[in-house]
Amino acid sequence: MRNSALAALVLPAGAPPAAAEVQHLFWKDLRPATQPAAESLGLPVVAASLPDHGETLAWSEAGKTVELKGYALPTDREGEMVYQFLLVPWSGACSHMPTPPPNQIVLVTLPKPFHLERTYAAVSVTGLLKQDMERSQLFIMDGLAVIPSGYVFSQARVEATDGVPDAIQAPQGPNPWNALQKKTN
Strand residues in 22-169 grouped as ranges (E): 23-24, 65-78, 81-88, 106-115, 122-140, 143-160
CB-based contact 80:69 (threshold 8 Å): no
Instruction: Give the list of residues 6+ apart from residue 2 with CB closer than 8 angstroms, or none.
Output: none
Mean pLDDT of 66-76: 94
CB-based contact 67:126 (threshold 8 Å): yes
Enumerate the β-bridge partners of residue 72. Answer: 87
- DSSP letter string, 74-97: EEEEETTEEEEEEEESSTTBTTTB
Backbone phi and psi for residue 159, each to the nearest 5 degrees, phi listed first: -140, 145
Model confidence band, residue 9 (pLDDT cutoffs 50, 70, 90): very low
Lowest mean pLDDT among 6-20, 104-118, 122-136: 6-20
Higher pLDDT, 150 or 17: 150
Q: Quick one: pLDDT at residue 7?
A: 38
Tell whether the model's pLDDT for residue 119 goes beyond 80: yes
Q: Quick one: pLDDT at residue 69?
A: 97
Model confidence band, residue 100 (pLDDT cutoffs 50, 70, 90): confident
Query: Could you give the C-alpha distances from 94 to 105, 127, 134, in angstroms and in order?
Result: 10, 23, 15
Could you give the percent of the chain with pLDDT greater than 70? 65
Mean pLDDT of 25-31: 91
Tell whether the model's pLDDT for residue 134 goes beyond 70: yes
Query: Could you give the C-alpha distances from 106 to 147, 166, 183, in angstroms and in order?
Result: 10, 15, 39
Give buried/exposed letters for 40-63 (b at 16+ CB in 10 A, else e): eeebbbbbeebeeebebbebeeee
Q: Quick one: pLDDT at residue 113?
A: 93
Mean pLDDT of 152-173: 78
Enumerate the β-bridge partners of residue 86. Answer: 73, 107
Mean pLDDT of 74-97: 86
Tell whether the model's pLDDT for residue 90 goes beyond 50: yes
User: What is the Cβ-side half-sphere exposure of residue 27, based on CA atoms within 13 angstroms?
Assistant: 27
Question: Would the pTM count as exceeding 0.95?
Answer: no
